[in-house]
Amino acid sequence: MVYAWASDPNLRKRGESGGAITALLKFALEEGIVDAVLGVKRGLDLYDARPVLITDPQDVEETAGSIHGGTLLLSKLFGKYLAGAEGFKVAAVMKGCDVMGTIEQAKRGMVNIDNLLLIGLNCGGSIAPSMMRRMISEVFGVDPGTVEEETIHKGRFHITVGGEHRAVRIPELEKGGYGRRDNCRRCKMKVPRGADLACGNWGVREELVGEATFVEVCSERGRDLVERAKAAGAIGVGVPDGACIKARKRREDLIVNLSDEEQKKDFALLEGSSDRMSFIVEETARCIKCYACIEVCPALFNTTGPYMTAFPGIIPPGIEFHLTRYAHVAESCINCGQCEELCPMDIPNARIMHAIAADLQELHGYRAGEDMSRPKIALMKDPKPASTSPPAEDLLQLGKG
Ligand SMILES: Cc1cc2nc3c(=O)[nH]c(=O)nc-3n(C[C@H](O)[C@H](O)[C@H](O)COP(=O)(O)OP(=O)(O)OC[C@H]3O[C@@H](n4cnc5c(N)ncnc54)[C@H](O)[C@@H]3O)c2cc1C
Ligand code: SF4
Ligand code: SF4
């Protein structure tokens, strides 16, 4: 475990906590350790998180900073648009759900994980852009369009407007019905140790807050990157003391315990088999069969074929449409929330699937998204392989633009 920061003062300033991640990514590209970087940058405004593939080290800087209204899941981008990272190496910056989703996609042969360098971000949770706007307007009484910066620190959501700084405690926001996405509240993957590095601001010594990130090295590949970047002078590195390591662990344990509570609350309506079935029948009756929940799910392949044939043309579809999806995802659900977030009919898809998967995982002693072990029930064979990705050379060319 180390503290790290960018040596370049500009990256240090632009980064969320000292810019170590940006410096590591730039170094990895410059040294040819990877051919491309997959990061997230601010789009039209601070509520617009955009995934970006970068091949020019000078462009990495534009991804510096954390976007807490960024509710994207990056894992399916490899299979859909990046030729499964076959034939080129990519460094990708990922929250816990991104890492878990990528591991599930790798198990299904949708991405070559050996070609990925995963820079994990600790994540207490993200906020849907629409919710963030509403919260800023109703809680802070501020026009969301005028906010210059947003950040989350020490359990508080902070905004800067007209150079002035304001903050509200996240538990207060959540009591008022604002705050993180439901799946984030339930999530227990707060430190993504399935990545090569897990980086975050928890455990950073008071005088270094905002100036350094706490890096847990989780693999030899991660260690190699940190050591080479340090030796080349791209990053500065310090050693955290025992008190800081303990403080970080306390924060992690605290939020994981809170997630247990949130799971209990969210799963209460889905407790017994008949309650669960009634809830599913009632909620999915709104379904318009747009397939968004299937297309985004990292535990499924990039095909909607098998689901299209379930009750073709019938809206709402029969319950079998959803039962098929539940059976195919089964214990592989990583609670990324995408199937709920993107559902145009506001069906609590992730809550339902997470409750089912949690029971199956307990039954089979299986943990989705944590390692490459295979599930016992979920669909693991692509029912209709179809890659629409352009070849790797074209992608790298595109990344230059
Ligand atoms: C939504 C979110 C929640 C977080 N919550 C915590 C937390 O509770 N505890 C904690 O210790 N740390 C948390 N972090 C991590 C922390 O904010 C810093 O990102 C980390 O300390 C690294 O700092 P840095 O200066 O080295 O990163 P930088 O050099 O600023 O690089 C940041 C990197 O994060 C990527 N990124 C930004 N937004 C997103 C996003 N929405 N999804 C995926 N990648 C993104 C960018 O592509 C960039 O490469 C969170 C980060 C995010 C994005
Ligand atoms: S995203 Fe919603 S409306 Fe679309 S198929 Fe899934 S459940 Fe139905
Ligand atoms: S079922 Fe929903 S929450 Fe679970 S992994 Fe798939 S998209 Fe994510």
Asked if residue 316 has a cis previous peptide bond (ω within 30° of 0), the answer is yes
Residue 388 pLDDT > 60:
no
Q: Can you name the residues that pair with 213 across neighbouring β-strands?
A: 4
Task: For residue 113, count CB atoms less than 10 angstroms from its CB and return exposed for 0-12, middle for 13-18, buried for 19 or more.
Answer: middle
Mean pLDDT of the 61-82 span: 94
pLDDT tier at 343, thresholds 50, 70, 90: very high
Q: State if residue 126 touches ligand 1 by the CB under 6 angstroms criterion.
A: yes
Render pLDDT for 288-325 as a digit per residue (tens, 0 to 9).
999 999 999 999 998 888 888 777 778 888 888 999 99
Contact 74, 100 (CB under 8 A): no
Contact 88, 396 (CB under 8 A): yes
pLDDT tier at 401, thresholds 50, 70, 90: very low
Q: What are the phi and psi torsion angles at 151 (to 5°)?
A: -155, 160
Residue 393 pLDDT > 80:
no
Q: 204: which 2 tokens? A: 């950073």
Percent of the chain with pLDDT over 70: 96
pLDDT tier at 5, thresholds 50, 70, 90: very high
| Mean per-residue pLDDT of the chain | 93
Render pLDDT for 277-298 as a digit per residue (tens, 0 to 9).
999 999 999 999 999 999 999 9
Cβ neighbours around 166 below 10 Å, total: 16
Residue 164 pLDDT > 50:
yes
Query: Could you tell me whether strands 90-94 and 147-153 are parallel, antiparallel, or unpaired per DSSP bridges?
Result: unpaired
Question: What separation in Å is there between the alpha carbon of 122 and the centre of ligand 1?
Answer: 7
- HSE, side-chain direction, 13 A CA sphere, residue 381: 1
Give me the residue spans of the domains in the chain: 2-126+185-260, 128-179, 271-364
Residue 213 pLDDT > 90:
yes
pLDDT of residue 329: 98
- HSE, side-chain direction, 13 A CA sphere, residue 79: 27
Question: What separation in Å is there between the alpha carbon of 21 and the centre of ligand 1?
Answer: 9
Cα–Cα distance, 192 to 199 (Å, whole number)? 9
Among 326, 342, 347, 353, say which to mutate for ligand 2: greatest number of ligand atoms within 8 Å of CB: 347
Residue 386 pLDDT > 50:
no
Sign of CA dihedral 360, 361, 364, 369: positive
Angle at 99 between CA 328 and CA 298, to 5 degrees: 25
pLDDT tier at 363, thresholds 50, 70, 90: very high
Cα–Cα distance, 333 to 19 (Å, whole number)? 32
Question: What separation in Å is there between the alpha carbon of 280 and the centre of ligand 1?
Answer: 35
Cα–Cα distance, 115 to 90 (Å, whole number)? 6
Q: 389: which 2 tokens? A: 């990705």
Ligand 1 atom, smallest distance to 125 CA: 3
Ligand 3 atom, smallest distance to 353 CA: 1
Q: State if residue 204 touches ligand 1 by the CB under 6 angstroms criterion.
A: no
Mean pLDDT of the 259-268 span: 96
Collapse the DSSP code of 38 into the 3-class scheme (helix H, G, I; strand E, B; otherwise coil) and give the result: strand
Q: State if residue 20 touches ligand 1 by the CB under 6 angstroms criterion.
A: yes
Task: For residue 81, count CB atoms less than 10 angstroms from its CB and return exposed for 0-12, middle for 13-18, buried for 19 or more.
Answer: middle
The DSSP element (H or E) to which 150 belongs, if any, is: strand 147-153
Cα–Cα distance, 34 to 55 (Å, whole number)? 9
Question: What separation in Å is there between the alpha carbon of 280 and the centre of ligand 2?
Answer: 13
Q: State if residue 49 touches ligand 1 by the CB under 6 angstroms criterion.
A: yes
Mean pLDDT of the 5-30 span: 97
Residue 3 pLDDT > 50:
yes
pLDDT of residue 390: 52
CATH architecture, range 128-179: Roll (3.10)
Residue 83 pLDDT > 70:
yes
Mean pLDDT of the 216-242 span: 97
Would you give the DSSP letter of residue 391?
P
Residue 399 pLDDT > 60:
no
Residue 153 pLDDT > 90:
no
